[in-house]
Amino acid sequence: MTPFAYVFPVFFVTLWVTIGHMLAWAGGWHQLARRYVATDGFSGESHGFCSGEMGWTNYNGVLWLGTDGEGLRLAVMFPFRGGHPPLFLPWHEVRLGERKKRFLSGEWVTLHLGSEEDVRLCLPARKADALLPAGLARHSAPTGC
């Protein structure tokens, strides 16, 4: 075998993980992970293959979202997980922003995550309505996706 056959897989995996870390940094996931890394298993309602946007990062079909009486769990599916540890935010750290209609993609909802961080997570309204509790507090600033 040529040396290229040994070097390319290492190069590819390193590049893949590096890009994942860069996307986590650009979107705000890294910022949330400082305080909200999930430490145990999750037994609430969950939905996989979800789409959403966090900052400049578009998670198209790779988000895993879960809710229970305690809060919101976010995770990125395995091959895209580099730099994205699973997160768990208690409900008092999640605030509802505004709803906006987007051209060709329907209605989206903005969630403001973290009291100090205020990272915006935009989700399709159908998914957000199915997951979020009815009494979720509305955020005062009308900023959307």
How many degrees, rounded to 5, is the angle at CA 81 between CA 78 and CA 84? 145
The two structure tokens encoding residue 120: 């915006």
As assigned by CATH, the class of the 3-131 domain is mainly beta
Q: How do residues 50-95 score in pLDDT, each as one tens digit?
A: 999 998 888 999 999 988 888 899 999 888 888 899 999 999 999 8
Q: How do residues 3-53 score in pLDDT, each as one tens digit?
A: 777 888 888 888 888 888 888 878 889 899 999 998 887 787 788 899 999
Report the pLDDT averaged over residues 126-136: 78
Is residue 108 over pLDDT 80? yes
Is residue 125 over pLDDT 80? yes
The two structure tokens encoding residue 105: 């993609």
The pLDDT value given to residue 116: 86
pTM of this structure: 0.81
d(CA 97, CA 23): 23
Domain ranges across the chain: 3-131
The pLDDT value given to residue 110: 92
**Residue from 124, 64, 74 nearest 94 by CA:** 74
Q: Are 116 and 34 in contact (CB under 8 A)?
A: no
d(CA 33, CA 55): 15
